[in-house]
Structure 1
Amino acid sequence: MSLDTVVEDIRDEAHARAEDIRDEGEARAEEIESAAEADAEEIRESAETEADREIEQLREQRLSSAKLEAKQKRLEARRDVLGDVREEVEGELTALEGDTREELTRALLDAASTEFDEDNDVSVYGRADDQDLIESILDDYDGYEFAGEYDCLGGVVVESEQSRVRVNNTFDSVLEDVWEDNLREISNQLFEQ
């Protein structure tokens, strides 16, 4: 074999080896590129999923916050309406006149008088506008005296130093008891759903 042939064989072998290395390099590059593309796709999908999750969570938070705010406004409006109703009832009680006012005042005084012994000196307080009415009712009670003004819608506050008892039978106290006992029913009637 001649030297040219050997050189040619070496050159052919080197070219073939270079071709194999290039093919392996290209294949490896394709593998790396494919793996990188798969990783990029996985990262993109993960980022999209995380973004969707965060968007949904934010939407739920905002929706929940809006519902809570609406509920608070509804409750506030209900409180305002109940307050208006209570004020209206108080106004009606203050405006009571004549026989109705006398009957109610007498009934409240009768109920309070059961707490006192017959020989007690009893002081009766009431609304300034009701002084004449209370004094006329007290004519029927021995030892009872109008003792002064009490800031209320009507009714009486009765007390005696001997028995150390004080009975608040004002329209205000009766209204408070009735209001508290029936608030749920009042609310249900006003805000039927």
Structure 2
Amino acid sequence: MSLDNVVSDIRDEANARAEEIRQEGERRAEEIVEAAETDAEALLDAREEAVERQIEQEREQAVSGAKLQAKQERLEARRDVLEDVRERAEAELRDLSGETREALTRALLDGAAEEFDGEEAVAVYGRDDDAELLESLVADYDGVEYGGEHDCLGGVVVDSTDSRVRVNNTFDSILDDVWEDSLKDVSGILFDQ
């Protein structure tokens, strides 16, 4: 063999080996690129899912917050309406006049007077505007006198100085009792519950 042949064989072998190394490098590079692309896609998918979860969570929180705020506003509006109804009832009681006011006041005084049978000193208090009415009504009872003003819508507060008994038969106390007993029904009527 000649030297040229040996050189040519070595060169061919080196070229073949270089081609193998180049092909192996390209194959390896393609694997690395594919792995990187797969990792990038997986990372992108994971990030998209995380963003979608966060968006959904924030949406749910916003909806929940809006529902809570709406419920609070609805409750406030209902409370305002109930307060208005209560104020109107108080105004109507305050504005009662004539025979209706006298009949109601007499009935409340009669009911309170029953608690004081046999008492010697009983005082009746009521709304300042009802002083004349109360003075005329207490004249029908022995041992009962008009005691003065009591801050109320009407009706009577009756005190016995001997037994320390007090009966509150004011329009206010009756309205309080009726209001408490009927609040659920009133709400049902007003708000179709």
TM tier relative to shorter chain: over 0.9
TM normalised by structure 2 equals 0.96
State the match for 1:158 in structure 2: 158
The separation in 1 between residues aligned to 2:159 and 2:131, in whole angstroms, is 16
2:38 is aligned with 1:35: no
CA distance in 1, matches of 2:142, 2:98: 24
**C-alpha separation in 1, matches of 2:120 and 2:177:** 28
* Percent of residue pairs bearing the same amino acid type: 66
Runs ≥4 in structure 1, deviation > 6 angstroms? Answer: none
Aligned length: 193
Q: State the SS of the aligned residue for 1:169.
A: strand
Instruction: Letter of the 1:149 partner, please give it.
Output: E
Secondary structure at 2:17 match in 1: helix
Distance 1:7 1:56 in 2: 71
Shift of 1:190: 0.9
Contact 1:126 1:149 in 2 (8 A): yes
> Cα offset for 1:15?
0.7
TM-score by length of structure 1 reads 0.96
Deviation at 1:159, TM superposition (A): 0.9
TM-superposed deviation, 1:183: 0.6
Q: CA RMSD in A?
A: 1.1
Residues 24-33 or 97-106, more deviating: 97-106
Moved more, 22-31 or 67-76: 67-76
Amino acid of the residue matched to residue 38 of structure 2? Answer: A
Superposed CA offset, 1:127-172 (max 9, x none):
0111111111111111111111011100011111211111111000
Quote the Cα distance in structure 1 between the aligned partners of 2:65 and 2:109. 53
Aligned to 2:183: 183
The answer for unaligned runs of 5 or more in structure 2 is none
